[in-house]
Structure 1
Amino acid sequence: MLSQAWILIMATIYATQMCLIVESLSDAHKIKSLPGQPHVSFQQFAGYITIDEKEKRALFYYFVEAETHPTSKPLVLWLNGGPGCSSLGAGAFSEHGPFKPRGDVLVKNYYSWNQEANVLYLESPAGVGFSYSANKSFYALVNDKITAQDNLVFLKHWFDKFPEYKNRDFFITGESYAGHYVPQLAHLIIQSKVKFNLKGIAIGNPLLEFNTDFNGRAEYLWSHGLISDATFEAFTYVCNYSQIRRQIPTGSLTPVCSGVSDQVSREIGDFIDGYDVTLDVCLSSLDSQSKVLNQLKDSKKVDVCVQEETFKYLNRKDVQKALNGQLVGVTKWTFCSAVLHYDMQNLEIPTVPILGSLVKSGVRVLVYSGDQDSVIPFTGTRTLVNGLAKEMGLNTTVPYRAWFEGKQVGGWIQAYGDFLSFATIRGASHEAPFSQPERSLVLFNTFLRGKPLPEATSSTVPTKLSNNPINNI
């Protein structure tokens, strides 16, 4: 029989060795400094997690610790949509990461989400960005089920690499087609009974239900003066946008629908960004994460050509080396995959029921919309969330009201029960943190904390606007 003292000594040695192994694994992915970045005090990591040894399939991640007190702040996973577009290029370097490319250097993003959390950006599925599969047959047909399963395997392995985050409050966030990725992954986590401390999900301008989301486009374009009355009628009753979206992938666009589509495009013109109808565009902008749904260009408000800058930056060899990334089977890093063939039938899988299931499981669900997006307009999203609340018998706990960022209206909010809410971000595009970074950060912060969004105070509203505008003609 071994003595208790000897067992304790051996256990201590084993634990020390395991700690050294874990530390060496994370240290191997630690970024010393990205080319051209300003000095920062927080740590950054990037590299690959192999999710299938046999097929040599690996997903690339970029992880930034919180700027301050990282040990006490939650972990947030961010997923961009597409399907098949990069969270590194869009989420991290164009929206809410710590830096944004500008020429040959990186500049600090003063509204970075790592002010409030430790943020993990994942390029998923394999074939997106730096993520890859050595077996190229994987790219032939990827779907939501495969993506969710691979993302779960990634998380399991990532937590093994960073065990200090295993018990941390965990949130999954994303936008656009992440309206599929995020709830499906969260649901799989619950089904799999893995020991992740999942607290909530937040999805921006998400694709939730094919017909409602896409058919809201006609009224939105018409109400913003981008199409005529006649075109609105045709776009609503002759051939709607969901019909067009179904026909395009199969090359079966009918002459009638082709005519309506051309009519809409002709009236909108080439210099309006469907993902932010009120802002100017970058005339040389690259395709964005939203190419599958529509063309996305950027606004002067922040950096009109931030995606072009990001494309150049991430294709620098010194940057790829610093990120521990590599190009496998492709000649350049791109925002949206040119090799991945996604099952576009998955776009028609409604994810609203999954949101309901998450709410029943006690997972907080925030659905938010930049209100300048015409491709997945907030009107359809709001209708879907409101319908879900009614179906579940949830009482309105926060009546529809304005919320504030500083002294200005940041958007509107409505909450149902304790776990479901819908918010708009005023003046924001499809990629809300890009065009309204400060307001998006306020929304993000309050969501993580489970706090109500700020309300107006007596000192907030100017005297001239204190009267009800409905009574003023």
Structure 2
Amino acid sequence: MAGLQRFSLVLLVLVCAIGAAGREEEEDRVVGLPGQPAAGFKHYAGYVEVRPGAGKALFYWFFEADEAPEKKPLLLWLNGGPGCSSVAYGAAQELGPFLVYSRGLKLNPYAWNKAANLLFLEAPVGVGYSYTNRTADFKELGDQVAAEDSHAFLLNWFKKYPRFKARPFYIAGESYAGHYVPQLANLIYERNRRGSRDSYINFKGFMIGNAVINDETDIQGMVDYAWSHAIISDKVYHAFRRTCVGISGNGSSAACEAAMKAFMRGYDGIDIYSIYSPLCLSASHSAMPVKTNKPHHFWRNKPISSRAGYDPCAEDYVEKYFNRDDVQRALHANVTRLRYAYSSCSNVIDQWKDSADTVLPIIRKLMNAGLRVWIYSGDTDGRVPVTSTRYSINKMELSLKEDWRAWFHKKQVAGWVVEYKEGLTFATVRGAGHQVPAFAPDRSLSLLSHFLAGDRLPSSSPR
């Protein structure tokens, strides 16, 4: 009888916990989002505290899979910067189910929730709607804090959504998420090895696109790309190579800074993130200067022009939309009434304490641990170009499994791909800029679907 009583007590506690989690989910359910088109899936948004008493909360937007969410994996998407929003870019301009355009929202037929349950996170604090009650926290931000806070967020998010805790979990991202994603992946991997069952995350792998992963080769590839695409002169090319590529330190010498300024002038009048796309000519869209004092500052600043895909003014629409009071109410956002307006890239993060020169050792370590790792590159991006990624991968001196070949989608060459014995797949996406899902939505969804399934990209056009 005593054993039966104990069993009943445990069962009661479990039922209560599940019920509490269900109520928390329902509280974050998004209904009445202004301009939302009809959709058959549920979505949720709100805050998750990073740690009790820390005064930090990160904002998320979560979309259940379009079909059979109970059978699909969970994917976390991160944008980079540092300081740029995964909601403003990933969700609203690239791979989310609802894309923001000039008149509101439209349904994305190639949203990544066709293949997975899709979670967008605004991290670290100061990005988008995410906040901290301590202004001193802004001075502590860097790669390590971003990884720690994102990991803490995930553990608490799974408490709110326990039905997803056992799902295969993947991470994807682009640009400076080339730091965020491997570093968070490494933290999950290490904590899984040492932690308890309660803190275990069923982590399977990650995918990063147009990703900052190794400073020296990233910069070398950027200048080589610009020269090979006739954007800069021989004189500028050789000056940049001589003063900024392969040097020790942070590349802040006067000669390097002058060469960087000359290099960036080559991009005047075009979009460095998509060299063949038009610029936004809206009067409200302002160009942002590029700082050059440290390598990671070179990556983190806002673009010279919009990074949007089909509409170069999309960033303007996004910021206007997410600053609306009715939108914030529907998303359970800005509950503390932030003292600054919502922006695609943070205006309050002006320091970044630590930025690794390279994440290649982490990528190599996680491949050796058996995690699935894919890297992809839109080949019309001048900021983190395909040349940079190829140089960086070559630094790892991997062994070929399958040599360079075309991959196909809808009977057309979608890009090129190479596979390595150590477990890495590297794919290009033909004609896509920095934000691959915005420029090549159908091919990016195909890429994701093959990654999640662990399948080779198609080697020929289907008959």
1:76 matched residue in structure 2: 75
**Distance in 2, Cα, partners of 1:90 & 1:283:** 19
Question: 1:11: Cα distance to partner?
Answer: 3.1
Structure 1 residues 114 and 125: CA distance shift in structure 2, 3 A:
same
CA distance in 2, matches of 1:147, 1:412: 33
- Aligned equivalent of 1:297: 305
Which of the numbers 269, 272, 275 marks the counterpart of 2:273?
A: 275
Residue 361 of structure 1 is matched in structure 2 by 369
RMSD of aligned Cα (Å): 2.3
Unaligned runs of 5+ in 2: 193-198, 289-296
Structure 1 residues 142 and 30, CA, compared in 2 at 3 Å: closer, same or farther? same
Distance 1:287 1:14 in 2: 56
Q: How does 1:21-420 map to 2 (within 5 A)?
A: 21-193=20-192, 194-240=199-245, 246-247=251-252, 254=254, 256-269=255-268, 271-284=269-282, 285=285, 292-293=300-301, 295=303, 297-298=305-306, 302-326=310-334, 328-343=337-352, 345-346=354-355, 348-390=356-398, 395-417=399-421, 419-420=423-424
| CA distance in 1: counterparts of 2:346 and 2:308, whole angstroms | 26
> CA separation of 1:267/1:144 partners in 2, compared to 1, >3 Å: closer, same or farther?
closer
So what's the TM-score if we normalise by structure 1?
0.89
Larger C-alpha radius of gyration, 1 or 2?
1
Distance 1:257 1:161, change over 3 A: same
SS at match of 1:201: strand
Aligned-residue offset at 1:384: 1.9
The structural deviation recorded for 1:240 is 4.8
- CA distance in 1 between partners of 2:160 and 2:143 (Å): 26
Work out the CA distance in 2 between the residues paired with 1:342 and 1:259.
Answer: 23
- Alpha carbons 1:273, 1:296 under 8 Å: kept: yes
Q: 1:237 corresponds to which letter in structure 2?
A: R
Structure 1 gap ranges (5+) = 248-252, 460-473
Aligned equivalents of 1:212, 1:265: Cα separation in 2: 18
1: CA distance between counterparts of 2:124 and 2:220? 28
Distance, in Å, in 2 between the alignment partners of 1:38 and 1:46 is: 17
Alpha-carbon separation, structure 1, partners of 2:337 and 2:97:
27
Moved more, 419-428 or 296-305: 296-305
Cα drift, residue 228 of structure 1 = 1.6
Cα offset, 1:328, TM superposition: 4.4
| Distance of 1:290 and 1:95 partners within structure 2 | 23
**Counterpart of 1:462?**
none
Number of the residue aligned with 1:424: 428
* TM-aligned CA deviation for residue 295 of structure 1: 1.5
Q: Deviations over 1:428-450 (max 9, x none)?
A: 11111111111111111110110
Alignment CA distance shift 1:422-1:293 (3 Å): farther
Distance 1:107 1:279 in 2: 22
How far apart are residue 344 of structure 1 and its match?
5.7
TM-score (norm 2): 0.91
Identical pairs, percent = 37
SS at match of 1:440: helix
SS in 2 for 1:367: strand
Distance 1:245 1:336 in 2: 23
Q: Distance in 2 between matches of 1:168 and 1:287?
A: 42
Q: Number of aligned pairs?
A: 446
Match of 1:438 in 2: 442
